[in-house]
Copies of this chain bind each other. A is one copy, B any other.
Amino acid sequence: MTYYVGIDLGGTNIKAGIVDEKGTLLNKDSIKTMAERPMEEIITDMGKLALKVIEDAGLTPDQIDSIGIGSPGTPDNEAGVLVYSNNLPFNMAPMRKIIRSVVDLPVYIDNDANCAGMAEAVAGAAKGTKNSVTITLGTGVGAGVIINGRIYSGFNQAGSEFGHHVLVSGGVQCSCGRKGCFEQYGSASALIRMTKEAAEAHPESKLNDVIAELGKVNAKVAFMAMRLGDEVAAQVVDTYTDYLADGLANAINTFMPEVLVIGGGVCNEGDPLLIPLQEKTMSRPYFGPGVKKTRIELAQMGNDAGIVGAAMMAKSCSDDNMQG
C-alpha cells in the first residue's frame, strides 16, 4: 500500500491526515492557522503537522509517497509556490521549499475546491467516473473539475471559477466586480440574503418566528420554516432552487460530466433540497435524443474532502511523474 499526506489549509484551521492510494483516510489532526502570522511560520507548521500525522499513523517519512496541499487561491504547482490567496497572507509563498526543509518529500499544491472535487471523484459521490464536477455551496460557490481522472485547472492553474459565470446579466453585484454571478444566486450566502429579504417583506410569516427564536438568519432557516408549513419560506426555497438549478444546468451543458456533485453545508438539508433540485435541473440541459445524461449527487466526503482530495491530488501528480 502507498500512503500520502493530505493537508487542508484553511483560514481558521490547518488539517492534515494520512490517506492510502484508494482514498481511505487513516488518521488526521489539526492545528489553528493563526493567519495573522508571517507565512513562513504557517508553512513550517504545516510541515510539522505532516510529520506528526505520519508518526501518529505508525509510519516513517520514507513510507510516504508525497504530500498534497489544498489551499485557497491560485497555486503554481510547477514552481511549488502559492501565487496568492484572497484570505490568507500568502504572496508567492514558497510552500514546497519550506515544507521540504521540515519533511523532505515531494510536495504538490492545488486549489481547495479542486481538491474537494478530486476527493469526490476518487472516493465519494463520483467514485468510478473519469469526468465529474463538484460544486461547493458555501460563502461563495466553488468548482472542482475532474477530466480524465485529473484536476482540470486551466493553463494558469487558476481553476474553474464557475461560481463567477454571470447567470443573471445586470443582477446582484458580486465581489469579483461583475454583476449577477452564479455565486450571488447559488451560494449559502445568497440563500441567506433571499431569506432576509422575504422575512422583511412578510413580517407575519412563520419564517420570522423561526428567525426570532434562533436569534439569527442562517442558511437553514428557510428550510426549517418550510418544514413548519410556512408558505413564505417555501417560496424562498423554491426561488433559491430555481436559480441553483439554472446554474447547475449551465454546468452540465458546459462540462457534460458523468456526475455533478453538490456539496457544502446547504446539502445537509438532504431530500427537501436534492429532489426538487434534481427535477428542476434535469428538465433544462441540452441532451439530444439517445444521449447519456449526467447524474446529480450530494457530496459524500464531508469535512474530510480537503485532506483526502489533497492527498489524491498528490497521488495523481506523482503518478504523472511531476516534479515535487
Contacts and interface: CB of A to CB of B under 8 A. Distances in A.
Interface of A: 73-74, 83-84, 86, 91-92, 129-131, 147-148, 152-156, 158-162, 164-169, 171, 176-178, 180, 185, 243, 246, 249-250, 253-258, 284-294
3 tightest A-B contacts by CB? A154-B256, A155-B258, A156-B292
B250 A155 contact: no
B292 A161 contact: no
Contact of A250 (B131, B166, B246, B284): B166
A9 to B, nearest CB: 16
A28 B86 CA distance: 53
Nearest to A246: B166
Contacts of A131: 154-155
Contacts of A86: 288
A160 B84 contact: no
A246 B168 CA distance: 11
A185 B169 CA distance: 11
Given A84-B290, A91-B290, A164-B253, 7 more contacts: A83-B291, A156-B294, A160-B256, A161-B286, A168-B168, A169-B243, A178-B246
20 contacts: A74-B288, A74-B290, A83-B288, A83-B290, A84-B289, A84-B291, A86-B288, A147-B147, A147-B152, A155-B257, A156-B256, A158-B288, A158-B291, A161-B256, A164-B285, A166-B167, A166-B246, A168-B168, A169-B243, A177-B284
A145 to B, nearest CB: 9
Contacts of A178: 246, 249, 284
A153 B284 contact: no
Contact of A254 (B92, B160, B258): B160
Given A156-B292, A288-B73, A168 B165 contact: no
Secondary structure at chain A's binding surface: helix, strand, loop or mixed? loop
A257 B155 CA distance: 6
A166 B250 CA distance: 6
A243 B131 CA distance: 30
Given A84-B290, A162-B253, A169-B168, A129 B155 contact: yes
A168 to B, nearest CB: 4
A171 B167 CA distance: 11
B284 A159 contact: no
A169 to B, nearest CB: 4
A258 B158 CA distance: 11
A313 to B, nearest CB: 16
A164 to B, nearest CB: 5
A160 to B, nearest CB: 6
B291 A74 contact: yes
Nearest to A73: B288
A246 B178 CA distance: 9
A253 B165 contact: yes
A198 to B, nearest CB: 18
Contacts of A294: 155-156
